[in-house]
Structure 1
Amino acid sequence: MGIFAHRQVMTHTGSGRLVKSTIRSLRILEYVEEQGSVRLTDVASEFDIGHSTAHNHLVTLEHEGVLVRRDGRYSLGMKFLKHGVSATQSIPYIEVIRRNVLELAERLELEIEFLVEEHGRVVSVIDTGYKFTKYPTADSNLNVGTFYPMGCTASGKAILAAMSESDVEEVLDEWGLPESTQYSITSREVLSEELEQVRERGYSSAKQEIVEGFDNIGVVITGPDGTIIGAITVGWPSYHFETSVPHQIVDQLLHTKEAIEAEMQTTEA
C-alpha cells in the first residue's frame, strides 16, 4: 500500500458527509500525475484494492476524459488544461494582473510570479519562469499549479499579513508551519513578528525558506473593496545579491502593486 492510500480522509465536514469513492478517484488522479503514467496493476498495488475495483475507477476516469489510455498505461488527459484555464480566468482582474506581471519581468529580468490563496495554501497561477533573466544557471521550469505552505513563502506571508488574526490562526491550525528547509519559520511567535514587519514596510520576504538557494519578496494585491486577490513575488538565486535586496527592485514591485490596484478601480472584474 502506497502513500496515496495512507492519506487521511475525513468522512464528515461541517456541511455534510464526504463520498469515499470520489475521494479515492481523486487520489488516483494525484497518483497518476505524480507518476506520469501508470498501469492498472500499479493502481491496485498503490491503493491495496482489487484489480476489478482499480479497473472501474480507471475506465470511469477515462470515460470522463480526465485520463487517457495508451499502450495499457493511463495518464492525465488534456481536459485538465481546460479546467485550469477556466479556473485561472475566474480570478478577478486576471488580465490586468497578467499584463503587469509580464511587464515587471521584462523590466527586472527576474522571475515574477502571481499566486492566490486556496484552502489555506498558496498556488502559483502565473510564473514567468526565467524567460527574462540573464543569469546562466536559470531553470526554465514553471511552477504554475504548484501549491506551497504560506508561512515560508513571500507570497504566503504577504497574504497572511493582510488577513484577520482569526483567519491566520485558522490557516496555521490546518497546515502548521512545515520545515521546508533549515531556514523555514516554524514558530508562530516568530511568524507573527515577521507579519507585523510586512505590514509596516509594505512587502514580505523569504530567504531560502521554501527552497534552499532561492530568495524572493512579495506584495499582496487587493481589490477595490479590500478583498485579497493574491500576491506578486520577485525571485532570484540567493547568490544574485550579495547583501540586501536593491531598493530599485522593491520600488518596482511596489509600483506594480499600485498600478494594478489603481487600474482595478476603473476595470470590471
Structure 2
Amino acid sequence: MFCIQNKMRKTKSVYKPIVPAVEQASQVLLCLGDGGKFEKKLTQICAEVGIHKSKAYTILNTLSKYGFVQKDTYLKTYSLGPGLIMLSRYLLDNLKYMKVVSPLLESLARETNATAFFGALSGESVYVVDKHEGNQNIGFTLQIGHRFHFTLGSHGKCIVAFMPLERRKILLERKKLYFYGDPAAVDLERLQCELNDCRHKGYSVDTGEVTPGVNNVSAPVFGPTEKIIGCIVLIGTFSGPAIEEYGRKTAYTGREISYRLGANLKNIYGNGNQK
C-alpha cells in the first residue's frame, strides 16, 4: 500500500499543466526573436530549439498559416511574421520605439506640412504603425495597419539600399519588383544609381511614379543590432527644391530615431552621414 501511495505521489509531483506542442511552438517563436539573426534556416531552428526537422517544419507551417511566422522562399529562411503585429496592436502604444518615433514624426509633419508615417518592416511587407498629418489641404487616406509591399516606391528603395549586398543581389533578380509601381517599369541600371544615391544621402525619392501627382521621400530606421527595422516616409504635393530639403529632414529624422534606439550610426553610414 505504501508503495502504491508513493508512486501516486511521484506521478502527481511530475505533472505539469503544459501542452508540449504549444511549448515547442513558443520556443520556436522565441528562437526567431532572440535578437540574433532575424531570418533563420530550418536546421538552425532545430539545433537551437532541440527538436526534429519534421516537428519544426510542421510547427513553422502552422504558425505561417496564422501569420506569426513568414518564410522567405528564395533564401529558405524563416522569420517572425506580421500576424504578431496585429496580435500586439494594443501594445504598440507602449513600446519603447513608438515613444521615440511619435514625437519626431509629428515634428517632421508639422515642419513640412506633409503626411509623415513610420512603416515597420516585417517579412516582405511594410506596415503603417504610426502617422501624423501636416496642414496641407490635400489629405491622404492612410490607415494604421495599412500594408505595402516592401519594394514599393521610395520606401522600397531605402530598404533595399541598406540591405546586405548578397541579399540585395538575390532580390534584384526577381521579376516582380515595385520600385516604380509597375514591375515592367523597372530599369535596373537606373535603380542601382538611385540605391547608391540613397546610401550616400540617407534618403530615397519617388516623384509621382507610383501615384501620379503625389511625391514622397523615405529614410531607413535601424534598431540596436543595426538591422533596418522600418522607415520614415513623408508624403505630399511638394516639388522642386522642396524635395531635396524635405529629403534631408526625413533622413535626419530617420537617423535621430535610429540613434535613440541604440543604433551605431558610424557603423551604418560611415563618417560622412551621421547625426
TM over 0.5: yes
Corresponding residue for 1:85?
89
Q: Is 1:158 the counterpart of 2:199 in the alignment?
A: no
Q: Aligned equivalents of 1:236 and 1:154: distance in 2?
A: 13
Q: Deviations over 1:187-208 (max 9, x none)?
A: 4443223211111222111122
- Shift of residue 219, structure 1, vs aligned partner: 0.8
Q: 1:255 aligns with which of 252, 256, 263?
A: 252
Equivalent position of 1:103 in the other structure? 107
Which runs of structure 2 are paired with 1:7-18 in the superposition (5 Å)? 16-17=57-58, 18=61
Once the two structures are TM-superposed, the CA of residue 181 in structure 1 deviates from its matched residue by 4.1
- Counterpart for residue 221 of structure 1: 221
3-state DSSP of counterpart to 2:233: strand
Q: What secondary structure sits across from 1:85 in the alignment? A: coil
SS at match of 1:112: strand
Q: How many residues align?
A: 192
Asked if the contact 2:177/2:183 (under 8 Å) is kept, the reply is no
Relative distance call for 1:99 and 1:161 in structure 2 (3 A) is same
- 1:120 and 1:175 in contact (8 A); partners too: no
Q: Which runs of 5+ in 2 are unaligned?
A: 1-40, 43-55, 68-83, 264-275
Deviation of 1:111 (Å) = 0.5
- Whose radius of gyration is greater, 1 or 2? 2
Root mean square deviation, CA, Å: 3.5
Counterpart in 2 of 1:236? 236
Match of 1:134 in 2: 136
Give the letter for the 2:107 counterpart.
Answer: E
8 Å Cα contact 2:116-2:233 kept in structure 1:
yes
Task: Give, in whole Å, the separation in 2 of the partners of 1:260 and 1:102.
Answer: 13
Name the TM-score, length of structure 2 as normaliser.
0.57
% identical aligned pairs = 18
TM-score normalised by the chain length of structure 1: 0.58
For structure 1, the 5+ residue unaligned runs are 1-12, 27-79
State the Cα distance separating 1:84 from its structure 2 match. 4.6
- 1:98-121 deviation per Cα after TM superposition (whole angstroms, max 9, x unaligned): 221112112221100111221123
Amino acid across the alignment from 1:85? R
State whether residues 183 and 209 of structure 1, in contact with CA within 8 Å, keep that contact through their aligned partners in structure 2.
no
Q: 1:157-214: CA deviations, max 9, x gaps? A: 1111111122224545678314874698524443223211111222111122332221
Residues 162 and 228 of structure 1: CA distance in aligned 2, closer, same or farther (over 3 Å): same
Moved over 6 A (4+): none
Q: Check if 1:94 corresponds to 2:98.
A: yes
